């Protein structure tokens, strides 16, 4: 059962990346830095889990399962948009950035 | 930049292809019935919805677009590893910064793609496009646009700007020819 090995390894990798993304949420000092975890580390985590699902259903059922590809595509499209909306509203509310953040004068008021 | 397709009956070729593929993926089958249905949808949905939408630049170099997509996918994987390392490392060593990247692109669609690419790749999240359209006088086009990005760990500002312009913006310019 090679596929079981592949599935479990992929699930572990995916889970690890999602966990790291969540650790980033707690650990980072300000809102803007916290945003980096969910927009990136979790994308690869989700990809790992979805590929695992693809391998699992392709090996246990007839035919190839490709629906998971769609989820991946939608995720890749929506992750930057939600990140953009969050950071835009943060700027609008003038949230404090961590001391020592460079280039704060690049941020214009709206 | 070309806004109109060469074929009147296929106003948005890329969207048609996308509809075709998504329909087949959703149904998880390539049976003849679904192939016919997908073809019908790919033809008629763009024709019906085309008048409602603002025309967007068409992809002129599909080969380059696929190459760029693969590059971005590769970058997403490396970006994830880098950010994971940054998150696990000591927080006080991080050098967060806001950086303004001057844009050569002028149309909304390529700018959106660039901003999304920047959000998904190493240590950067795009925040805003300046100038904000509402702040301009009615009907006036801005002469120079900027993309404001937040960087998790900034080493060299100019180098970062150059990387974004060379690696992500230049191919987009060529793909859309604008």
Q: Kindly list the domain boundaries of chain B, sorted by start residue.
A: 3-52, 62-176
Q: What is the DSSP letter of A102?
A: B
Tell me which chain A residue has its CA closest to the CA of residue B124. A36
Q: Is the pTM of this model over 0.90?
A: no
Q: Which of B76, B80, B154 sits opposite A102 (nearest CB)?
A: B154
Query: Which chain A residues are Cβ-neighbours of B123 within 8 angstroms?
Result: 36
Q: Which residues contact B175 (CB under 8 A, 6 or more apart)?
A: B59, B60, B61, B64, B65, B68, B110
Q: Does B87 touch chain A (CB under 8 A)?
A: yes
Backbone angles phi, psi at B6, to 5 degrees: -70, -25
Q: Looking at residue B1, what is its pLDDT?
A: 62
Provide the pLDDT confidence category of residue A79 given band limits of 50, 70 and 90: confident
Q: Which of B28, B80, B84 sits opposite A65 (nearest CB)?
A: B28
Structural Rg of chain A based on CA atoms:
18
By the 8 A CB rule, do B134 and B160 touch?
A: no
Judged by DSSP in three states, B54 sits in coil
Asked whether the beta carbons of residue B125 and residue A36 sit closer than 8 angstroms, the reply is yes
Interface probe for B, chosen from A106, A107, A108, A110 (most Cβ of B below 10 Å), is A106
Closest alpha carbon to B87 in A18, A24, A16: A24
Contact A84 B100 (CB under 8 A): no
Interface size, chain A vs chain B, as Cβ–Cβ contacts under 8 Å: 127
Q: Which residues of A touch B102 (CB under 8 A)?
A: none
pLDDT tens, position by position, for chain B (178 residues)?
666 666 767 777 778 888 898 888 888 778 899 999 999 998 888 888 878 877 777 778 888 888 988 998 888 888 788 888 888 888 887 888 888 888 888 778 888 888 888 888 767 888 788 777 666 666 666 678 888 888 888 888 888 888 888 888 888 888 887 7
What are the chain A neighbours of B117 within 8 Å (beta carbons)? 80
Stretch 22-81 of chain B: residues touching chain A, C-beta under 8 Å: 22, 25-26, 28, 76-77, 79-81
Which among B18, B81, B119, B136 is the top mutation candidate for probing chain A, defined by the most A β-carbons within 10 Å of its own β-carbon?
B119
Q: Which pLDDT band holds residue A11 (cuts at 50, 70, 90)? A: very high
Question: Tokens in use for B67?
Answer: 């190459």
* Cα–Cα distance for residue pair A74/B117, rounded to 1 Å: 14
pLDDT over threshold 70, residue A60: yes
């Amino acid at each position: 059962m090679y596929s079981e090995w592949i599935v479990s390894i992929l699930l572990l990798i995916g889970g690890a990346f999602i966990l790291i993304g969540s650790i980033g949420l707690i650990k980072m000092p300000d809102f803007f830095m916290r945003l980096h975890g969910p927009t990136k580390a979790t994308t690869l985590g989700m990809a790992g889990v979805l590929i695992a699902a693809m391998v699992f259903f392709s090996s246990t059922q007839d035919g190839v399962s490709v629906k998971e590809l769609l989820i991946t595509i939608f995720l890749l499209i929506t992750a930057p948009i939600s990140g953009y909306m969050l950071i835009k509203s943060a700027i609008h509310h003038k949230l404090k950035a961590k001391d020592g953040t460079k280039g704060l004068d690049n941020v214009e008021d709206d | 930049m070309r806004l109109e397709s060469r074929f009147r009956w296929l106003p948005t070729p890329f969207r048609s292809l996308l509809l075709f593929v998504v329909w087949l993926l959703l149904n998880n089958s390539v049976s003849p019935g679904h192939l016919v249905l997908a073809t019908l949808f790919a033809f008629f949905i763009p024709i019906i919805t085309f008048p409602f939408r603002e025309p967007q630049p068409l992809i002129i170099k599909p080969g380059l677009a696929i190459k760029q997509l693969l590059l971005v996918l590769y970058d997403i994987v490396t970006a994830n590893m880098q950010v994971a390392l940054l998150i696990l490392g000591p927080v006080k060593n991080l050098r967060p910064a806001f950086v303004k990247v001057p844009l050569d692109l002028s149309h909304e669609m390529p700018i959106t793609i660039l901003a999304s690419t920047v959000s998904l790749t190493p240590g950067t999240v795009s925040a805003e496009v300046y100038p904000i359209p509402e702040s301009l006088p009615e009907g006036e086009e801005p002469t120079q646009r900027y993309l404001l990005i937040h960087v998790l760990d900034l080493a060299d500002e100019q180098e970062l700007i150059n990387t974004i312009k060379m690696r992500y913006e230049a191919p987009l310019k060529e793909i859309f020819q604008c």
